[in-house]
Structure 1
Amino acid sequence: MLEFSEAWAFVFLLAPLLIRWLAPAHRESSDSLQVPYFQRLVDLSGETPRSGASVRRRLVIQAVASLIGWCLLVLALARPVWVGEPIKIEKTARDLMLAVDISGSMEATDFVDATGKQTDRLSAAKQVLKQFVAGREGDRLGLIVFGSAAYLQAPFTDDRETWLALLDESIVNMAGPSTALGDAIGLSIAHFRESKTKNRVLIVLTDGNDTGSKVPPLDAAQVAKAEGVTIYTVAVGDPETVGEEALDLEVLDSIAQTTGGVSFNAADLKALQETYQRIDELEPASYDSLSYRPRTSLFHIPLMAFALLYVIAMPLFSLLGHRKRRLS
């Protein structure tokens, strides 16, 4: 479909008529010859004498070419644009941050993998997370790892391969032996604030209680609620553990409930897989559909046509004028 970005420019098509009406024809003075038989010449020629001026007559083809050239210039000034058919694209509608506990207790080998071998908690979590993110094509993924402190391992990205590679590079005790759960939530909120996506989800996987965060987990959960972040908490490991490695299920439940999320407890690999399947159902992949119509500017076409007309017409008019003078 053809559109004109500056359609008002078509008013300039009236300019030649206005100029012809408002500005009189140019008259050139020329030398005259006085003869005693002037009246006789007038009678013979049939011409009407004028007082010392003559109007040069242009060829019809010159007038037509000038009119066409002016129309081409006005057409270019109107900026014609070809608008194509609508193109629909799907855009990520959710930012999903995963905060993974890599404190010292995550090396406990109380999980059994698919082959029946004992494996540590972090390896089991990685195995399940890989399956989980495979179906999250509609989300931008981020990764935070936390121990004694929280660190951003991967900012929000659509690049699944890079995200999985950074997850694989995360090892136990890399961030210290303790569990800074509140700081992990706080760091997630800081990165959500830089996001324009309104659908924000944080999944926290931990096997212990908070042991020294600068921000208490429940206070961080209140801030997350104010920022529109939904938190799902996943507790792994033995709930009967005591001491610093004990699971504080009550705090994890409160964090999830405060933000409108759900708290899960996964004591083995199967339960962990079911937990992430449940989260997948609660937070299905989401897309925003956008539509746009490609626009191609065409103003150069009438300009090129004008240039071609000028190149052809100028020498042609010169030859015709020379021929007319010779014949006269």
Structure 2
Amino acid sequence: MPEIKYLYFAVLGIATFLCVVICSIFFKSSKVVQFPHIELFGKPLRFITRFIPYSVLLLVVLLTIIAIHPYKTKDIFSEKKVYNIVVCLDVSNSMKEKNKLEIAKKVLRDFVLKRDNEDRIGIVVFDNIPFRLVSLTTDRKKILKLIPSIHPAMVDKGGTSMYDALIESLDVFKPEWKNKIVILLSDGGDIDSKHTLDDVIKYNKVVKAKIYTIGISSGIHSYALERLSVSSGGKAFFITTEYKTALENIFNIINHLEPSVIKETSYKIEEPVDFYIKIAALLVGFFILTKITYRAVKDEKNTD
């Protein structure tokens, strides 16, 4: 239902309109608007002065209609949901097998390109120890330039410190940030970390990041990855064959679950409902102009 705005402005217009009508009936004359000293404006023109009452009446009606201004309120959704994403990538020596690391790099590159430009993306790599390769940034060129430099055992001697790497990934986030995501990709269990699985879960209760885990080997410790994901509200994925196709599908699923741009916040706008008002104004104007013309012709005939 349309709402009426500025209704209090219409009171004066309606009162004036009623006054004109009542005066016209009471005095039995359409010339109820008097302009003293009109001769100051030049030679009196009887034909023009006939139009004054009707013009005033028409102006009052039109201004009253405009002042009432019916409108509807409409919800508009526009705000972006910006994500903070850390990719925690296993670069241990075992990632050389079946070209797993090279496939992961290509899929990671495509993932970065698909995300919205306002999303912050960082990369933490790990073998025996974790290393923050890229801090969270919106600089896509910087990320894409560094991805090709990733290689097996690039940090230390090629072990696996998955839990330490997750702690490092969570440390990247600032407390005030929202929409924090960690994507862990590994092909083995943890053998070198100083931290434990419970340490990661406990720490993430403070950071409040959603962890997606991807196990890319038949020998992966699925229990640990499942616990990490479930405890954070994320999801665990496991692949053993067709690494490239499977990884592409998984990252597409993550993109779907965490879309770069969503309808998050709404605000209201006023949408005028003026079609019928314009028709009404047109009819009123046509009626008044018709009466003016009729009265003018009639008066001319009486004069002659």
- TM-score band by shorter chain is 0.5 to 0.7
Given the alignment, which residue of 62, 80, 105 partners 1:126?
105
- 2:210 matched residue in structure 1: 230
CA distance in 2, matches of 1:215, 1:281: 32
Q: Is the 8 A contact 2:175 2:207 kept in 1?
A: no
CA distance in 2, matches of 1:92, 1:261: 18
Q: Residue 269 of structure 1: CA displacement?
A: 1.4
Given the alignment, which residue of 67, 78, 87 partners 1:98?
87
Q: Is the 8 A contact 1:203 1:232 kept in 2?
A: yes
- 1:139 matched residue in structure 2: 119
- 2:185 matched residue in structure 1: 205
CA distance in 2, matches of 1:163, 1:121: 20
CA distance in 2, matches of 1:90, 1:154: 27
Q: Is the 8 A contact 2:86 2:122 kept in 1?
A: yes
Normalising by structure 1, report the TM-score: 0.53
Q: Residue 170 of structure 1: CA displacement?
A: 1.2
CA distance in 1, matches of 2:234, 2:147: 24
- 1:159 matched residue in structure 2: 139
When residues 91 and 285 of structure 1 are mapped into structure 2, their CA distance, relative to the original with a 3 A threshold, is: closer
Structure 1, unpaired ranges of 5+: 1-88, 110-119, 240-245, 292-328
Q: Residue 266 of structure 1: CA displacement?
A: 2.2
Q: Is the 8 A contact 2:214 2:238 kept in 1?
A: yes
1:172 maps onto 2:145 in alignment: no
Deviation digits for residues 230-278 of structure 1, max 9, x if unmatched?
Answer: 00001112x1xxxxxx310111111100111000012221111111111
CA distance in 1, matches of 2:136, 2:248: 23
Q: Residue 222 of structure 1: CA displacement?
A: 2.6
CA distance in 2, matches of 1:224, 1:218: 10
Q: Is the 8 A contact 1:126 1:167 kept in 2?
A: yes
Q: Is the 8 A contact 1:230 1:261 kept in 2?
A: yes
1:253 maps onto 2:226 in alignment: yes
Q: Residue 128 of structure 1: CA displacement?
A: 0.8
Amino acid in structure 1 at the alignment position of 2:135: P
- 2:171 matched residue in structure 1: 190
CA distance in 2, matches of 1:191, 1:147: 18
Q: Is the 8 A contact 2:88 2:182 kept in 1?
A: yes
CA distance in 2, matches of 1:92, 1:147: 33
Structure 2, unpaired ranges of 5+: 1-77, 268-304
Q: Is the 8 A contact 1:94 1:286 kept in 2?
A: no
- 1:314 matched residue in structure 2: none
Q: Residue 97 of structure 1: CA displacement?
A: 0.5
Amino acid in structure 1 at the alignment position of 2:142: T
Point out the structure with max Rg over C-alpha. 1
**Higher fraction of helix:** 2
CA distance in 2, matches of 1:212, 1:273: 29
- 1:263 matched residue in structure 2: 236
Q: Is the 8 A contact 2:126 2:162 kept in 1?
A: yes
Deviation digits for residues 159-179 of structure 1, max 9, x if unmatched?
Answer: 111112112111110123111
- State the 4+ residue runs in structure 1 displaced beyond 6 angstroms: 89-92
When residues 142 and 92 of structure 1 are mapped into structure 2, their CA distance, relative to the original with a 3 A threshold, is: farther
1:272 maps onto 2:272 in alignment: no
How many equivalent residue pairs?
186
CA distance in 1, matches of 2:136, 2:81: 11
